[in-house]
Amino acid sequence: MFRRVVLTVLVGGLLPLMAIQLLPYGRQHVNPAISAEPAWPDPAMRALAVGACYDCHSNQTTWPWYSNVAPVSWIIQRHVDEGRAVLNFSEWDRPQEGMREVADVIEEGEMPPGYYRLLYKAARLSASDAAALAQTLGSLR
């Protein structure tokens, strides 16, 4: 009976997990060329933005090892694709539609997202750092 349960778990859970690794989406980690960056008024503000925003909002994403393991890879790839589409610090030569609300979402604590703050210490902004970053990004419009 125990062997049957173990076999069922392995076949029912492990094989599908292994099979989805063959799907390419989520492992196509591309960091396109940087065409233009904002004129940061202060290197410290750029450093805050790099730590808290650049993984999803630039072409300088650092892809962790688990970004190659489905289904986590799918989630990470989707977040980066969506983040770059809304606001991309590496393509400052094109209109950045997300800049209209960036200060608000940072001040309200919606960005960086909670799960990201849990994983990355640099994304854990103090209230004063968040306010300063929001003000700086608001001035880059």
63-87 in b/e burial notation, b at 16+ Cβ within 10 A?
A: beeebebbeebbebbeebeebbeeb
The model's pLDDT over 71-83, given as tens digits with 9 standing for 90+, comes to 888 899 999 999 9
Cβ atoms of 88 and 36 closer than 8 Å: no
Helix (H, G, I), strand (E, B) or coil at 134: helix
Any residues with CB less than 8 A from the CB of 16 and at least 6 apart, and which?
Answer: none
Strand partners, 36: 91
The model's pLDDT over 16-69, given as tens digits with 9 standing for 90+, comes to 777 767 776 666 788 999 999 999 999 999 999 999 999 999 999 999 998 888
